[in-house]
Amino acid sequence: MDLKQKSLLSTYVEKLANGNFAEQDVLGFLLLIQKQADDIKWINEVTELAINRVQYKGIIKDYLLETRKKFALMSQSKVSLRIHDVFSFKELRNGLNKALSDCDMGELPHERINDFVACLISILQQIIITDEHDKEIGKLFFAISNKEVILMAEVAIANNLLKKTNVVFPVLTANNRYVNLKKQDQYDTPYLFLDDVVEIVNRDGKLDIIIPN
């Protein structure tokens, strides 16, 4: 990393530490630190997905297609299915702090990590998902509940009657510290923004989620 890159990275890290960042800063930070963090799987995969969008081929796409297969099998066997995020919050936190430490930067507190992940979720919304033959089968989109900010995936599967149905499942999650929402039901079913773009901005050091009407 040359002197200019180090200067830019220092600026981004200062923003992260002070909480004075939004989604565009998170993307800029990832682009700068990616090569320095080649041993941190999620940083490389998320950055590649953010850059390449529908053309991305990697671990996250494999996860999406594998989860789709599990849902298809479940529809035939009626076996229950438990879904885990592609990268856990702990994995995201530890990887980010390791990357910062490797660059002689201090670790971020839990609240800042949560803000970072919320911005990641916003960056990755509306990415088209394709199957092994590059046929469109769904997309990633933004969702939010009273407790969580969620990157959701919607994909089409064929049930045992060969009819298509859509399934929805979480890919990444963060705590909702930003919008006071009324629970839709006892399960806190999230509000889904399948065809809308949600924006995360920073107002006076606090993230604000701009939700379409």
Query: From the CB of residue 158, how many other CB atoms can be counted at a distance below 10 Å?
Result: 12
Pick from 174, 167, 136, 133: which is nearest to 153 by CA? Answer: 167
DSSP 3-state assignment of 20?
A: coil
Per-position pLDDT tens, the chain of length 213: 889 988 999 999 999 999 999 999 999 999 999 988 999 999 999 999 999 999 999 999 999 999 999 998 887 776 778 899 999 999 999 999 999 998 888 899 999 999 999 999 999 999 999 999 999 999 999 999 999 999 999 999 987 666 788 999 999 999 999 999 999 999 999 999 999 999 999 999 999 999 887
**Integer distance in angstroms from the first to the last C-alpha of the chain?**
43
- Residue type (1 letter), 28: G
- The answer to whether the CB of 175 falls within 8 A of the CB of 148 is yes
Note the pTM of the prediction, 2 decimals. 0.94
**In the prediction, which pLDDT does 68 show?**
95
**In the prediction, which pLDDT does 162 show?**
65
Which DSSP state fits 134? Answer: S
- Residue type (1 letter), 8: L
| Domain membership of residue 173 as a residue range | 3-210
Q: And the tokens for 7?
A: 């200067």
**In the prediction, which pLDDT does 82 show?**
87
Number of domains in the chain: 1
Please give the helix or strand (H or E) that residue 53 lies within, else none: none
